[in-house]
Structure 1
């Protein structure tokens, strides 16, 4: 197996993508926070003391997507053309979905995964005073389009179906 992010001296480096063609790229990721029914109700009713959990977390997720290259060492700093975070409140938790788009030389999978992660961490932070037992789980890439490696849709040819 050949590692792509190591130079001839065996040290890490960021891969050169300058010669790649620009293409439209998207990535969709998801995650979940298991929480008590009381916490779900507090979020629905806007009763969490730190404020509107979904609005603040949505903004945090967008900011997280924009800062991915500052957090993940080998990620390129790429211009994002769109980031959308959506929520689905269930009686036992919250589902988070992030869709990230760009036109560029490298994909936005890490930006989508980071957006979900930061969104979930912000929900946890805002609700921890009432529910320390929350569990952040099931963060996964659902789909990616564009680029030389082609499209990926979870469940189509992968070993783990989500």
Structure 2
């Protein structure tokens, strides 16, 4: 069974899925962009779970390219999978770290037996990753890594530019 990849123009915090992926910062304690929106809409349960993670396994924060799950709080999902994308650099190729965000998030989703997973365009906001390159990496990694029980990976894209970049990446095969 192939995993279905779909694109949605909209707000990831309004999606119904087994797991929503959060483009988190390494502190896991909320921030701007997708991270702030997920924490605000998900409520204090997510922050409490993230604080517990910081107090146990991730005292120094979650490294870039890794992923960890918490409750989804008040979101219409069972879990939030937090992953920390790399900051784009013109001097250093960090594409393996960006691909790792998708790969490790999918591995966590499989462990949780999530059937539907919604991703934002990781690292394309404040971390300045060029949209077309980020979309190409995301789509390629999901195509290579998504396995059962994950049946659908949904890229939830906040604006027309991101939606266009992911549409082109998906069409490129």
Q: TM-score range by the shorter chain?
A: 0.3 to 0.5
Structure number with the higher strand fraction is: 1
TM-score scaled by length of structure 2: 0.32
Larger gyration radius, structure 1 or structure 2: 1
Structure number with the higher helix fraction is: 2
TM-score scaled by length of structure 1: 0.34
